[in-house]
């Protein structure tokens, strides 16, 4: 079976098992110089050069690349400048973070179809902007040009530049040099293997062999065939077919950082054009074969400084990963010192040029210590993006000042307003007032709790959550924003959507947002000014602002090109909350807060709410749901829900996911489905109060958008993303779920079964690495870390496996930028995220709507806290819907996946039938 079905060009020799001597290509690839003829002239900054079009090593001799840098004198580098090619992967920015710390300066990241070959020539050879290249992992196969983009051309032509290929990049290195790409005996994703290596310089100071402590994480279904390795390639690392889970047993002793310091000296040798290091050379004796059923994990070119790794050195669970990147830096330094000397003047000029690609200050390049975090005022990404756009438009001489001016924050749709906050604190009042439930009922429960919100920390055990926020339509600044994406049924969809804003007086205005809702929300938040002393004594981070939800379909504003299905509910809905109540569950304190414009003098709401709180009696509690047993759950089908897919169809879709994973299209796919039931005129608030009793959760929520006939009853245990006032981002993905036991003994056995499940650990590890990547896009290099990995948390009906990822936000990144970088939550998509969402859209039969989106707040001072919408009942137009799903990985069993999906619907479905 061919690994890619794209249009193809004939080659003299087939490299891929099962193909007919063809290499796939696409229209976009023809644009950068691949044609069917032997040679084609391309223009590199107005100068014609000959480039090879055949993917055969023997056709490289006529390339001009090998001579370009020979004439330059030289010095030892203080730092290394990397061009990082992103193959649309969800782990690229983990490599970015590592290289930023190791190299001393952040790399420049481009996607594999973002530059033409002429662009690459310009930056690499005319401007000398980079010292080496790293090719990222990615979905698909190097035989498919749509998957690999410009990477093959770089590997063919840039024989005088050090290149490191990771996973897909490793396979590409093998492929362009004549190796075959074949299916592995089994897909390996999120699992660990012990590595042996030959002492190549890429593995300096790294142990080798079984029980040496060199375990690595693998994410791949395809491999370079070691049984027919061409003479140009040298095997450098390999592993047996056995794999390991991260935690193998309670007594394994393996901890997330346990292997970082297990280093022993190793023999080092590399061979390229100048001969071998330490006197060893494989160029004439390399058999090109791996014995004993070993799987090839590393290769190097015999005459070029090109290296490949099949495993992922950037993964959180890979031992000695940073050492590998440090070794590649040293290889690069030594290569240029010995072979391509350059003068101090040229080096400094090129550093200045690279700085223009990264930061808006033309005279300064922020350097990074070799070890430790990057410390600087502003980082490269937004300015780099603007520079790329200008270069692709043909403006090669754009300067840094023009980049800076082009990236000023957009003007808001409203005038800049200075907000003032007034608040009062009532010590130990929450319990005396009857608790959060009673306070909400008495203050906001009238008239069916129309237009109210409650971000409800109904489960505060083990300090999972601390604060609850509640409010309604009270103040003069209150308004409701409702957003619907444009109709995407035609091929001319360009994005954007329709926004309606209703104020406290009932007047409504509508507008079309060409740039979408997230851009608008960003402008709104940036329009506020404030005084920090107004809230500096408050222990929580919401001080007034927007509370509501993003639907899953808003993924089209975060990198996806389209949605296959249109949601029946709004794609985003938010209140602007100016008057609200906060409960501190840790200290039992109650706060009331009012946000107003500076010109406001009196705030009667504070006085009225204080009087109501002081009059509440503690006896007015627990009117609903107190008889419900927290562990009594029923199947959604017994509760009268109808699934949009039959059991047989869901299992069939799981099998399709496994085929995609086998072919390398994804590492993990979070397949979901919906259950629906007509409920008519149900007491939605009563249902939510019953649900929170039955299934308390730290990130639960109640939202009632009366104008939309929409109520959301959420009992989510999962945080999507949080940004606190200190600029710390935190994600807490859940992957791995199992039912609670009936007895204490059974419950503990099930908990341990989850903890040491290889499948569930693989699920969790893949999403942890994905969230590290998402945070790495907006956090200071070196700051992203994982304080808690694969911890099991217990809730009323299930045990779950939870990890925590944190990082320090870059100073030039807004709150909405952080959300855009990570939405939708990786635990609801899979990895790589974009390709996985495309595949899921093709498999799922309806829009996820609010399910899989996020509920939470954006404070006017740019803090936010958002959950993942799971374990949730959405009531819209008289119908209740519950979404559920699970991560499909190579180890998944289709029948078990269906059962897990049903398990996740039991608590909300039971709440509906018991309440009715």
Residues assigned a catalytic role: 167, 312, 314
- Using N-to-C axis directions, what is the helix angle for 321-339 and 92-103, rounded to 10°? 60
Q: Which DSSP category does 21 fall into? A: S
Question: How close are the terminal C-alpha atoms of the chain, in Å?
Answer: 54
Q: Which DSSP category does 312 fall into? A: B
Locus of tokens 């000042």: 401
d(CA 328, CA 617): 68
Residues 6+ apart with CB under 8 A from 31: 116
- Is residue 569 within 8 A of residue 469, CB to CB? The reply is no
Q: How distant, in Å, are the alpha carbons of 146, 197, 208, 264, 320 from that of 212? A: 39, 11, 6, 9, 12
Q: Which DSSP category does 487 fall into? A: P
Residues 6+ apart with CB under 8 A from 631: 740, 742, 796, 797
- Spatial CA neighbour of 552 closest among 331, 310, 833: 833
Q: What phi-psi label fits residue 790: left (phi over 0), alpha (psi between -120 and 50 degrees) or beta?
A: left
- Is residue 772 within 8 A of residue 784, CB to CB? The reply is yes
Strand stretches in 78-162, DSSP E: 82-86, 108-111, 132-135
Percentage helix, strand, coil for the chain under 3-state DSSP, each rounded to 5: 30, 25, 45
d(CA 215, CA 712): 45
- Is residue 812 within 8 A of residue 379, CB to CB? The reply is yes
C-alpha count within 13 angstroms, C-beta hemisphere, residue 855: 30
d(CA 399, CA 394): 13
Q: Is the dihedral of CA 425, 431, 432, 433 positive or negative?
A: positive
Locus of tokens 């907006």: 778
Nearest 5°: CA angle at 223, between 219 and 228?
165
- Is residue 907 within 8 A of residue 633, CB to CB? The reply is yes
**Burial (CB count <10 Å: 0-12, 13-18, 19+), residue 190:** buried
Q: Which residues of 748-763 are buried (b: 16+ CB within 10 A; e: fewer)?
A: eebbeebbbbbbbbbb
- Is residue 572 within 8 A of residue 477, CB to CB? The reply is no
What are the φ/ψ torsions at residue 28 (nearest 5 degrees)? -65, -30
Q: What phi-psi label fits residue 178: left (phi over 0), alpha (psi between -120 and 50 degrees) or beta?
A: left
Q: Which DSSP category does 33 fall into? A: T
Pairing of strands 417-426, 589-597: antiparallel
């Amino acid at each position: 079976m061919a690994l890619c079905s794209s249009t193809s060009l004939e080659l003299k020799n087939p490299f891929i098992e099962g193909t007919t001597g063809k290499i796939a290509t696409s229209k976009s690839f023809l644009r950068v110089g691949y044609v069917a003829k032997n040679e084609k002239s391309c223009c590199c900054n107005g100068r014609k050069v000959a480039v090879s079009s055949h993917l055969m090593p023997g056709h490289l001799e006529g390339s001009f690349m090998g001579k370009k840098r020979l004439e330059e004198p030289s010095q030892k580098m203080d730092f290394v400048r990397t061009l990082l090619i992103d193959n649309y992967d969800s782990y690229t920015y983990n490599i970015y973070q590592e290289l930023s710390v190791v190299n001393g300066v952040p790399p420049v990241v481009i996607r594999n179809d973002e530059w033409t070959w002429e662009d690459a020539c310009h930056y690499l050879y005319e401007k000398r902007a980079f010292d080496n290249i790293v090719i990222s992992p990615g979905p698909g196969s190097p035989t498919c040009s749509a998957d690999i983009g410009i990477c093959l051309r770089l590997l063919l032509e840039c024989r005088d530049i050090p290149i490191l290929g990771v996973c897909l990049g490793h396979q590409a290195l093998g492929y362009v040099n004549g190796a075959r790409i074949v299916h592995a005996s089994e897909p390996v994703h999120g699992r660990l293997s012990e590595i042996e290596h030959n002492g190549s310089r890429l593995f300096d100071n790294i142990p080798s062999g079984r029980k040496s402590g060199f375990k690595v994480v693998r994410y791949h279904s395809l491999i370079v065939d070691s049984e027919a390795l061409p003479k140009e390639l040298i095997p450098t690392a390999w592993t047996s077919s056995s794999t390991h889970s991260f935690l193998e047993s309670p007594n394994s002793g393996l901890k997330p950082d346990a292997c970082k310091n297990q280093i022993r000296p190793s023999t080092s040798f590399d061979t390229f054009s100048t001969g071998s290091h330490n006197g060893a050379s494989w160029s004439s004796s390399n058999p090109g074969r791996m014995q004993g059923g070993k799987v090839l994990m590393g290769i190097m070119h015999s005459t070029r400084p090109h290296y490949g790794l099949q495993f992922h050195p950037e993964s959180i669970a890979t031992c000695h990963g940073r050492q590998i990147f440090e070794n590649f830096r040293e290889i690069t330094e030594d290569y240029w010192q010995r072979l391509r000397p350059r003068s101090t003047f040229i080096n400094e000029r090129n550093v200045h040029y690279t700085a223009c690609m990264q930061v808006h200050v033309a005279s300064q390049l922020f350097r990074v210590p070799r070890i430790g975090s990057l410390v600087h005022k502003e980082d490269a990404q937004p300015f780099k993006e603007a520079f790329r756009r200008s270069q692709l438009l043909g403006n090669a001489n754009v300067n840094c000042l023009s980049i800076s001016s082009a990236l000023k924050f957009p003007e808001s749709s409203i005038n800049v307003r200075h907000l003032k906050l007034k608040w009062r604190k009532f010590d130990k009042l929450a319990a005396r007032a009857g608790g959060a439930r009673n306070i909400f009922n008495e203050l906001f429960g009238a008239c069916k709790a129309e237009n109210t919100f409650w971000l409800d920390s109904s489960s505060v055990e083990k300090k999972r959550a601390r604060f609850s926020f509640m409010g309604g339509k009270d103040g003069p600044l209150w308004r409701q924003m409702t957003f619907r994406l444009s109709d995407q049924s035609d091929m001319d969809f360009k994005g954007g959507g329709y926004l309606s804003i209703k104020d406290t007086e009932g007047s409504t205005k509508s507008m079309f947002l060409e740039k979408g809702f997230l851009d608008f929300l960003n402008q709104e938040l940036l329009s506020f000014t404030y005084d920090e002393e107004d809230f500096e004594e408050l222990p929580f981070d919401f001080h007034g602002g927007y509370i509501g939800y993003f639907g899953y379909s808003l993924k089209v504003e975060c990198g996806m090109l389209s949605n296959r299905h249109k949601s029946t509910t709004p794609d985003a809905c938010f209140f602007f909350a100016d008057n609200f109540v906060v409960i501190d569950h840790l200290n039992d304190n109650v706060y009331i807060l009012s946000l107003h414009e500076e010109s406001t003098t009196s705030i009667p709401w504070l006085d009225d709410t204080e009087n109501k709180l002081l009059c509440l009696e503690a006896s007015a509690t627990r009117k609903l749901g107190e008889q419900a047993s927290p562990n009594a759950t029923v199947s959604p089908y017994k509760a009268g829900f109808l699934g949009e897919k039959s059991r047989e169809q869901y299992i069939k879709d799981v099998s399709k996911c496994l085929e995609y994973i086998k072919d390398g299209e994804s590492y993990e796919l979070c397949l979901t489905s919906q259950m629906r039931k007509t409920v008519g005129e149900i007491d939605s608030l009563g249902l939510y109060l019953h649900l929170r009793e039955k299934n308390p959760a730290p990130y639960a929520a109640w939202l009632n958008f009366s104008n939309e006939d929409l109520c959301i009853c959420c009992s989510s245990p999962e945080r999507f993303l949080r940004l606190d006032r200190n600029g710390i981002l935190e994600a807490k993905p859940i992957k791995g779920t199992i039912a609670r036991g009936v007895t204490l003994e059974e419950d503990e056995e099930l908990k341990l079964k989850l903890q040491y499940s290889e499948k569930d650990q693989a699920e969790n590890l893949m999403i942890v690495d994905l969230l590290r990547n998402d945070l790495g896009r907006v956090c200071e290099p070196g700051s992203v870390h994982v304080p808690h990995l694969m911890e099991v948390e217990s809730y009323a009906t299930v045990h779950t496996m939870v990890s925590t990822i944190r990082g320090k936000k870059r100073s030039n990144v807004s709150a909405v930028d952080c959300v855009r970088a990570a939405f939708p939550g990786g635990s609801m998509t899979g990895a790589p995220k974009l390709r996985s969402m495309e595949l899921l859209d093709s498999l799922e039969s309806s829009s996820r709507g609010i399910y899989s989106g996020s509920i939470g707040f954006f404070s006017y001072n740019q803090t936010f806290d958002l959950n993942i919408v799971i374990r949730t009942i959405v009531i819209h137009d008289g119908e209740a819907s519950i979404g559920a799903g699970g991560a499909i990985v190579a180890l998944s069993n289709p029948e078990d996946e269906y059962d897990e999906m049903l398990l996740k619907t039991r608590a909300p479905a039971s709440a509906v039938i018991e309440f009715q």
